[in-house]
Amino acid sequence: MSLLLGDTAPDFDAETTEGNISFHDWIGDDWVVFFSHPADFTPVCTTEIGYTAKLKDKLAARGAKAIVISADSLEDHKAWIKDVEETQGAKVEFPLIADPDKKIATLYNMIHPNADAKVTVRAVYVIDPKKKIRASIIYPPSAGRNFDEILRLIDSLQLTDGYKVATPVNWQDGEDVIIVPSVSNEDADKMFPKGYKTIKPYLRTTAQPNK
Q: Catalytic site residues?
A: 45
Whether 125 contacts 135, CB under 8 Å = yes
d(Cα 77, Cα 113) in Å, to the nearest integer? Answer: 24
Crossing angle (nearest 10°) for helices 43-54 and 147-162: 40
d(Cα 15, Cα 103) in Å, to the nearest integer? Answer: 12
3-state secondary structure of 12: coil
How would you label 28-60 residue by residue, b for 16+ Cβ within 10 Å and e otherwise?
eebbbbbbbbbebebebbbebbbbbbebbeebe
d(Cα 193, Cα 30) in Å, to the nearest integer? Answer: 31
